[in-house]
Amino acid sequence: MNYELALVMPVYNEEECIAAVTRSWREHLDAQRISHILLIYNDGSKDRTAEVLQQFETDPFVRITNKPNSGHGPTILTGYAQAVRLAPWVFQCDSDDELRAEDFPKLWDVRERYDALFGIRTDRQQSWDRRFVSECSRAMVRLLFGGGVKDVNVPFRLIRSVLLAEIIQKIPAASFAPNVIIAGAMARRPVRVANIPIPHHPRSTGQASVSNWKLWKYAFRAFRQTLTCRP
């Protein structure tokens, strides 16, 4: 493999912060002397995200893919499928700067003792319905698979490629919430899992791509897919 770490970052309508987020990850990973590649997937953004990302096209450690919109889950799976071939460790984060590069060493520095490491978002401010859906997702995975992963949909996760590759090949490409399914799969396997507190920062630019009324629809879809897909 070519790198120590492949970072998967889906992006949708983040023109205001994507440049700063990308630079932050590059600078922090360089400072830690981690051989890495940033795999950024622009999921059919309707704003200037694609234009803003052009400034990184000459960076050999950033690979940008502009693709038709397929949704957050399918985009993550596309990234995972590529990442597991490039590095022994895969990390997934979102592009909204709510979980930051400065906290990545909390996972990376202890990785050799584990097979998968997950952030636990602390100080998180959510509306009551998003909090309710989050708690239901956590309870669902705990009921079906056990309690190995504490924050089942966290976009701050570091997983050995050999393990991730085995799991994702059994997840349908159109899955809405593959990270929840992956968390469940981790709980069912005899793997070493770490849950590490990571501070959550309120979104300072843009807005969440899923409105509150759609949240319930998507939560039901995620629940159904998790029931039927148990890799």
pTM of the model: 0.86
Cβ neighbours, 10 Å, residue 8: 25
Q: What one-letter code names the amino acid at 143?
A: L
The answer for residues whose C-beta is within 8 angstroms of residue 207's C-beta and 6 or more apart is: none
DSSP 8-state symbol, 101: G
What band does 211 get if pLDDT is binned at 50, 70 and 90? very low
Residue 29's domain comprises 5-228
Give the pLDDT confidence of 177-188 residue by residue, as tens digits: 899 889 888 877
> Which residues are bridge partners to 195 per DSSP?
118
Strand partners, 5: 36, 89
CA distance 50 to 165: 29
How far is the C-alpha of 173 from the C-alpha of 35, rounded, in Å?
Answer: 29
Distance between CA atoms of 192 and 158, rounded to whole angstroms? 12
pLDDT in tens, 6-59: 999 999 999 999 999 999 999 999 999 999 999 999 999 999 999 999 999 999
DSSP secondary structure, 192-218, as one string: -EEEEEEE-----SS--SS-HHHHHHH
Nearest to 134 by CA among 210, 41, 42: 210
Sign of CA dihedral 10, 201, 145, 211: negative
Provide the CATH number for the domain around residue 141. Answer: 3.90.550.10
- The three-point CA angle 133-107-20 to 5° equals 75
Count the domains in the chain.
1
Query: Would strands 89-93 and 156-160 be described as parallel, antiparallel, or unpaired?
Result: antiparallel
Per-residue model confidence as pLDDT tens digits over 104-141: 999 999 999 999 999 999 876 655 555 655 666 666 65
Which amino acid does the sequence have at 228? T
How far, in Å, CA of 38 to CA of 13, rounded?
Answer: 18
